[in-house]
A and B are shown apart, each in its own frame.
Chain A
Amino acid sequence: MKASVAGYARAQSLGHAFDLLQSAQGEAVVIAGGQSLVASLNLRLSEEALLVDIRHLPELRGVVLHEGVLRLGALTRHAELAQAPLVAEHAPLLTQAAPLIAHAAIRSRGTLGGSLANADPAAELPACMIALAAEILVRSAGNERRIPADAFFEGLFTTALEEGEIIVAVDIPLKAAGDRHVIRELTRRSGDYAIVGLAGVKSVDGVRLAYFGVSDKPVLAAGAMTILNSGGSIEDAVSALQDDLDPESDPHASAEYRRHLAAVLLRRVLADMTNS
């Protein structure tokens, strides 16, 4: 099928992008990599849209150390995430996660900001942001705010973003020397969205475990984390997943199978954290 697009404009600056969004009175959406948006326009899942192309805005680019955190511009493409030396050094979770996303010809175009705004419950990067306790920097015409990743993802393809807001960057706490970052997922074919995945970060504050593909949004396994962080056993943590997760059945996998895979992944991720 063919996309139905009512109009296109390339933003020349962030200010111009806000003007365009405002002039469209809620009828416009931003397009970054287009790797989710154009697919849904072609499928006519999205309504006839006005598009504001933000792909050329320098304000949304860059991978830098900034005031003690790693700042990733919203336009950082998955392919860049996989390659960037600063990411490998300070947030290796994302270096591991990027190659799990889709295929080379999609990673060359898809962006971090687009992936977070899209909020697919089976996507890797939203769960990574929660595991890393990242903050999402959002701007609108007259305002700027930081949203903790925990509070950003609200449900199926739904986020805390309000009309007229654009993600400009994410801030990620730096990995300390002894910290461990591990992401694992199970898919039927390479490049598919995960049936179940788990992003884990271990630091002096304890372990953070963010699951994806088990709910309408990425979820922290709070019970399992509490057990592990108070010296409990892996088996007790696995049992706690029963209450932490409430997966649903869909054509890809039954709820019961997802529960099984979640337990398998917990053991593997914890083993990787100890061995790495």
Chain B
Amino acid sequence: MSQAAFEQLVDISLTVNGERVEARVPAGRHVVDFLRLDLGLTGAHAGCEHGVCGACTLQIDGEIVRGCLILAAQMDGAEIWTIEGVTDSKEITDLQDNFVERNALQCGFCTPGMIFAARDILTRHQGVPSREDIREHISGNYCRCTGYEAIVDAIETTARARNSEQEAAE
């Protein structure tokens, strides 16, 4: 096996929203800049760029992560999903509709990250999570507009609807 040395520009091969991507990235570029500047996918937002605000939350290899705390250079072989991808696949249309319905976004800066955190608890939690559980799960995502109440409403509404659909199906 070739023993790679340090590189300033790193070749990576990965999938983004199900599509194969080959790229050469500067060693210090984080995933959000890679998506926004190199691939033109502007759904993931860069806010604080040190892990605090959650605006950059997206999915890598099946788990939610901070896009600003992961370097694109580390992404060889990875599978990334952004808000664009999960919107196109229509798997979270109900959640997105409930965000609009409940006024769970105003400026929208936090929304893509918030949706990923919400989607995560909706898929992981059996049954309907409590409002406390929902608050805990979105505690790493700042929203400076809504005051969170409407966001918790939208997630809870989605969880209830999904749960009754599932019960009806059983």
Contacts and interface: CB of A to CB of B under 8 A. Distances in A.
Interface of A: 1-10, 12, 16, 19-20, 23-24, 28, 31, 34-35, 38-43, 50-51, 53, 55, 79, 102-106, 108-109, 189-191
Given A6-B6, A39-B50, A12 B136 contact: no
B82 interface: no
Given A34-B69, A39-B51, A109-B66, 5 more contacts: A34-B70, A39-B50, A51-B27, A55-B74, A103-B54
Interface in B48-79: 49-51, 54, 57, 63-66, 68-71, 73-74, 76
A43 B50 contact: yes
B27 A16 contact: no
B120 interface: yes
B140 interface: yes
A42 B68 contact: yes
Contact of B5 (A2, A9, A108): A9
Given A42-B68, A104-B64, A9 B140 contact: no
A259 B116 CA distance: 39
Interface of B: 1, 3-8, 10, 26-30, 33, 49-51, 54, 57, 63-66, 68-71, 73-74, 76, 116-117, 120, 135-137, 139-141
B6 A38 contact: no
A222 to B, nearest CB: 35
Contacts of A109: 63, 65-66, 69-70
A7 B7 contact: yes
8 contacts: A2-B29, A2-B49, A5-B27, A10-B76, A20-B5, A23-B5, A41-B28, A105-B66
A88 B136 CA distance: 22
A3 B6 contact: no
A50 B6 contact: yes
A105 B69 CA distance: 10
| Chain A binding surface, main DSSP class | mixed
Given A105-B117, A106-B140, A39 B63 contact: no
A8 B71 contact: yes
A190 B136 contact: yes
Contacts of B116: 105
B6 A24 contact: yes
B141 to A, nearest CB: 8
A55 B65 CA distance: 15
Given A10-B4, A38-B69, A55-B74, A4 B63 contact: no
B3 A16 contact: yes
Contacts of A103: 54, 139-141
A53 to B, nearest CB: 6
B69 A104 contact: no
A2 B8 contact: no
A41 B54 CA distance: 18
A108 B49 CA distance: 18
A168 to B, nearest CB: 20
Contact of B65 (A31, A39, A108): A108
Given A7-B7, A20-B5, A35-B51, A108 B71 contact: no
A202 to B, nearest CB: 28
A9 B28 contact: no
Given A38-B70, A39-B69, A104 B6 contact: no
A105 B54 contact: yes
Contact of B28 (A4, A39, A108): A4
Nearest to B73: A8
Determine which residue in B10, B28, B141 has the highest number of CB atoms from chain A within 10 A of its CB, and name it.
Answer: B28
